[in-house]
A and B are shown apart, each in its own frame.
Chain A
Amino acid sequence: MFPIRLDNVRFAPNGRPVLAGVDLTLGGDGISVLLGPNGSGKTVLMRLVAGLQVPDSGSIDWGGAAAPGDAVAMLFQAPMLIRASVAANVALGLRMLGLSRAERDRRVAAVLGRVGLADRSADSARLLSGGEIQRLALARAWAMRPRLLLLDEPTASLDPTATEAVERIVREIRTEGTKIFLSTHNLAQAMRIADDIVFIAAGRIGEQAPAARFFARPQSSEARLFIQGELPWRISFPT
């Protein structure tokens, strides 16, 4: 599956360019953070890497394969929750893996324990708090033991405590050999969690660098402005 290579990828639904010639290589280790302002094309890029969408032009190569394969999981800002228990929602991800019922139950119990939801396993998933829902979704992805885990702004609507819990779980998943690709517009979060940064602005990759170097010496002017809190992408309203 790795390295994942995007070569001059363009994506323009209904003629509106979202990605305008993206070149990117993702290795198989660590946490890569896709950093950029809202509307810069982060979600679309994540979906392309997950194989959920096809670029209008350019190519994507997953370690020599034309498709990402089975070892991909993705966490969305608003995860899908069916009207069932927490444990049943975690088990959803395991149903298609051909595991025995006993193995599924074992994995569900194990990941719920690791995300701190063991005591909520019989509760209804839809009655959880926002932070608990994201932990449930992480548990569902983790139980699948993916090689690549894509996280699309997983803490966008969470308070600092819930955010810290999610970040702790993400780091733990990484230690088990899962490559993490996380999108955020939150600079502080990127600093806390990233091994390397992919900076995106206006549908183009502005810079890809190890996190320490990116924050100390950003190479692109867009990245420098973003880090300094300047807003060249300020939304203008008609007057």
Chain B
Amino acid sequence: MAQTLLDALALLGDLQHDLLAIVLLSVTVSGLAVVFATLIGLPLGAWVAVSRFCGRSAAIVALNSMMGLPSVVVGVVVYLALSRTGPLGTLGLLFTPSAMVIAQTLLTAPLIAALTRQIVEDAWRGYAIELRLMRYSRWHSMSLLLYDCRYSLLVAVLAGLGRAMSEVGAVMIVGGNIYGFTRVMTTTIALETSKGDLPLAIALGVVLMTVVVGLNSSALVLSRWAMRRYG
């Protein structure tokens, strides 16, 4: 056990090209997925928060339920859509990093939307009457609420990033875990553990945890600064 840990630390110390490439691809795929998921999730969540429409309660239940969407299910759905005989098969995206971005976007967008809906709706309850008196349209109200809740919404985006970076099922199915092309940290950890190469798995686990803890620490520092600055 001790030797395994020492080997893992040695791998991290060497910063081998393979290791760096895997880390870089993980961060790029998950980062892009969260950018797209944020562009979808923030407005969608805010719209559900400030709108009143038939079936709104069902939409909220669906959105909340999709927070726990199994990543393998998303993987299979995206696989079927992108496979040669699927509706998007002509794009030739299956087993590429683009397919992994699509899968992770679908996985994280509902999470960000559901958290955004809750955060924005809480603010909306206190603001609705005054915004109505100031003749704010729904669109302007949404923009204002997203701006006002920006520090709380950062947590929603980080939750999405955490989910994207830590999931393994979807990227394994749609990416294929191809060495040097679609192999990311989580799929590498799963593969190397099954092969018995624990040092690499542990080294990547350490990197993964460092990235996640680093992001969350930054968010905490930012939210504390915002609390002092804006109350």
Residues of chain A whose beta carbon lies under 8 Å from any beta carbon of chain B? 47, 50, 52, 70, 72-74, 76, 79-80, 82-84, 92-93, 95-96, 124-127, 144
Contacts and interface: CB of A to CB of B under 8 A. Distances in A.
Nearest to A68: B133
B123 to A, nearest CB: 9
Given A84-B148, A127-B230, A144-B134, 14 more contacts: A47-B129, A50-B133, A72-B133, A74-B133, A80-B126, A80-B131, A82-B148, A83-B230, A92-B144, A95-B134, A95-B140, A96-B135, A96-B136, A96-B137
Interface of B: 126-127, 129-137, 140, 144, 147-148, 150-151, 226, 229-231
The 9 A-B pairs at the shortest CB distance, nearest first, are namely: A126-B231, A83-B230, A82-B148, A96-B135, A80-B130, A124-B230, A127-B231, A80-B127, A93-B134
A232 B137 CA distance: 45
A82 B140 contact: no
A96 B130 CA distance: 13
Nearest to A144: B134
9 contacts: A52-B129, A74-B130, A76-B129, A79-B130, A80-B126, A80-B130, A83-B148, A125-B231, A144-B134
Nearest to A96: B135
A125 B231 CA distance: 8
Contact of B132 (A52, A70, A79, A126): A52
Given A83-B230, A83-B231, A127-B231, A92 B134 contact: yes
Contacts of A126: 230-231
B150 to A, nearest CB: 8
Contacts of B144: 82, 92
A147 B21 CA distance: 66
A83 B226 contact: yes
Contacts of A95: 134, 136, 140
A82 B147 contact: yes
B146 to A, nearest CB: 11
A160 to B, nearest CB: 25
Contacts of A83: 148, 150-151, 226, 230-231
Contacts of B150: 83
A52 B148 contact: no
